[in-house]
Amino acid sequence: MVLASAYNSADDNAWCPGCGNFGVLQALKLALAGLNLEPWQVIMVSGIGQAAKIPHYLKVNCFNGLHGRTMPAAFGAKMANHKMTVIAAGGDGDAYAEGGNHFVHAMRRNPDITYLVHDNQIYGLTKGQASPTTGLGTLTGTTPFGSVDIPESPLAVAVAMDCSFVARGFAGDIEHLSKIIAAAVKHRGFSLVDILQPCVTFNKVNTYQWYKERVYNLDEDAAYDPKDRNKAFTKALEWGDRIPTGIIYKRERPVFEDSVFKPADKSLSRQPFTPPDSLELMRKYA
């Protein structure tokens, strides 16, 4: 049995006191321990931003790459190690702005990777500018007269892309979030978990209190069928007085790895190194 404490890291934490990221970190540790994964069996890939520091605060394999480039790096790491658990993490700017194109194509590709997006609707590390999910009219450093670009609905985008697992969590509800993350990791295919993550320093609108008054647990609604894509689309767009958390959409489909690996194949990185002879390949041109 693996304990959540097995994932503790000695690295100094650079998050603000009270940051929503702490809730995500704790939920992730609980989820991984619950899945009985050893730290060395997990690779985390992240981009840049406060959220993207999360792999350092865990004991796991980590590739902390570039802002926005989390998905491609995670895909490469997964293809070299398809028998390992690969989890990607980053913020809303990382995932939906700089990484928007990669996010869309990751869903098309459908590798067995879980993507945790810490969505605080603001740019934190650059000290308070608008993000793709910032609400209309919000005053930020770069929108002094209020944000005029309509916010993206990442969950609706994911449902539209037929993403194989689409969920929303709330950093203020660690227990539910850890269940969602565990389900996402267990799900075979690309899983998006958009996490409502209060930024206590720069987002004075979407606070813990603001979310607590609005979120409800969709997983407790027995009548809701996450396999129904049309209903999932409607649910994904629900935002305002009531905000659903839980599994919005779920769909089984072949993963990318199925197109290249047989079930018995070891990870590429652990296969014997036996390349073909160049002269033999060249003879085909004689």
Binding site for other proteins (CB under 8 A): 11, 14, 38-41, 43, 45, 48, 53, 55-56, 59-66, 69, 71-81, 83-84, 101-102, 104-105, 109, 256, 260, 267-271, 273, 275-279, 281-283, 285-286
**Nearest CB to other proteins, comparing residues 211 and 256:** 256
> Shortest distance, CB of residue 271 to other proteins, whole angstroms?
7
Neighbouring C-beta atoms of residue 186, cutoff 10 Å: 14
**Contact present, 51 and 145 (Cβ < 8 Å):** no
Q: How far apart are the first and last CA of the chain?
A: 59
Q: Which is nearer to other proteins, 48 or 174 (CB)?
A: 48
Judged by CB, which is closer to other proteins: 11, or 213? 11
Closest CB 196 distance from other proteins, rounded Å: 26
Q: Of 40 and 228, which CB lies nearer to other proteins in the complex structure? A: 40
Q: Which is nearer to other proteins, 26 or 267 (CB)?
A: 267
- At its nearest, how many Å lie between other proteins and the CB of residue 275? 4
Residue from 125, 158, 126, 164 nearest 142 by CA: 126
The gap from C-alpha 37 to its chain's centroid, in whole angstroms, comes to 18
Residues across the chain? 286
Sorted by sequence, the CB contacts under 8 Å of residue 93 that are 6+ apart come out as 49, 67, 123, 131, 132
Give dist(CA 21, CA 5) in Å, integer: 17
Work out how close the CB of 37 gets to other proteins at its nearest, in angstroms, rounded to a whole number: 12
CA 40 to chain centre: 20
Residue 29, helix vs strand vs coil: helix
Q: Which two tokens stand for residue 20?
A: 């929503």
Least spacing, CB of residue 205 vs other proteins, in Å: 29
- 11 or 252: whose CB is closer to other proteins? 11
CB of 278 to other proteins, least distance (A): 4
